[in-house]
Structure 1
Amino acid sequence: MKKLLLLLVIVASSTINYAQDALAFTVKDEVYNASNALDVSITYTSDVEIAAGAVEVTLWTVSGGVWSQQWRDSDFNKDPLPAGTDLTSTITIESLPAAIVNGDGNLMTNEELLAADPNPAPTGFTTYYYELRFTVRNQTWADLSWITEPAVDVNFTPTIPAASFIHVDPSTTASIDEEFLKDVKLFPNPTTGKINISGLETATAFSVYNAIGQEVKRFKNVNSTIDISELNSGIYILKSNNGLLRKIVKQ
């Protein structure tokens, strides 16, 4: 059996380790700048030509809180990839669906995804992120074989076809560790105006965004109460300067 080694790279600065006959992932929660397409760079080593369509990248949206996942788009290598060592190519996911595109025609940020969720807080989703899932197929296009919930450094020997995934964040700031935010409470929510914030004493500034990602209100030098009574009824995103990201509903 011919051997195929595939290394999937999300950003040039990523450090990826790999072993023979293995797919390897060492990063999660990577950051993309918002755009109207996703260019995914791959570096691979193979002793045979890789057929067109053999390497597929699929974009999913995944939510926390009330958990769900949804397929959004996918693409694959359009041309055969030549045999060789440490060769590079790019797979571009184009024509992103309207459900994840903002008013500027670009891929929604995580904040915009959360705001676009039709379920009201607090019963709706509390976080959103994207996943890129990678699949290597054999030339008979057999069914997929998924590897789920990988650790940060995952090496596995695939029985081709095989797949794994990493998280991506299409925003200008890296994702944060939300462990220290787990006890934060916003109340009342929904609200007619004022929202009390507890468990977030280190925050000093807050911004409120509408469903299309526009900042509609900003608060400085506050850490316990904000007032959004002047905003129209609807769903908004509250973001603090130390990492809080929550959906709020103005009645």
Structure 2
Amino acid sequence: KRVQEHTSDTEPGAWKNAGAKPGIEVWRIEQFQIIPREVNGEFYDGDSYIVLHIRTYKGNPDSQTLSYDLHFWLGEETSQDEVGTAAYKTVELGDHLHGVPVQYREVQGYESSRFLSYFHFVCLHGGIESGFRHIIDPPSLDLRILYHMSFTSEKNLVIRQVPAHSSSLIQGDVYVLDRGTKVWQFNTKNSVAFKHYTDYQTHPVPSHSKTLIHLHQRRCLHRTHFC
């Protein structure tokens, strides 16, 4: 009921242009409201999001009929008010689109292959201030951030921030350590993902490198290099 009271204050036109053309649209839950976000695949574990995938009917580019996949993603540290708002707003958006969207609930660490196929998925620690709680501020320039790198069966890149200590390392996986001025990639022994990385590195600028450079620039305000 409390969530309904707050979310009912949403402006009538909040969903006005949602789902109008093929593509992906993302909103983050902030103070019981939906806030449009850049579609860059970045999600924070203290937040909840709504993701709308719009495509032409049966993949026919000439079709005027649109199909929708509607997801709400819940970070493991998200608050109950954000969970409730995300669920409520997902139903609201589904109703706005005349009940056409197929709806999915995504939980951090258990995302569907369909959801992960939309972008290079990056899960980071932190989040925005909530109506009931506060997530810590972003880290300072003195960085020590460890990323766990993996690929889905469809070869979509998945990056998850993990605690920056040796106990986070799992034999057979790939990790990247961001120290602020340099970034190291560590391929553990018998790394299953190593072959994927060597495949990607045949390109001038690997797609996973672009993703990490973008993350690093957002945190450090300057370009990094790999050592």
Give the TM-score band, short-chain normalised: under 0.3
Q: Which structure dedicates a bigger proportion of its chain to strand? A: 1
Bigger relative CO (Cα 8 Å, ≥ 6 apart): 1
> Normalising by structure 1, what TM-score?
0.23
> Normalising by structure 2, what TM-score?
0.25
Q: Give the structure with higher Rg (CA).
A: 1
Q: Which structure dedicates a bigger proportion of its chain to helix? A: 2
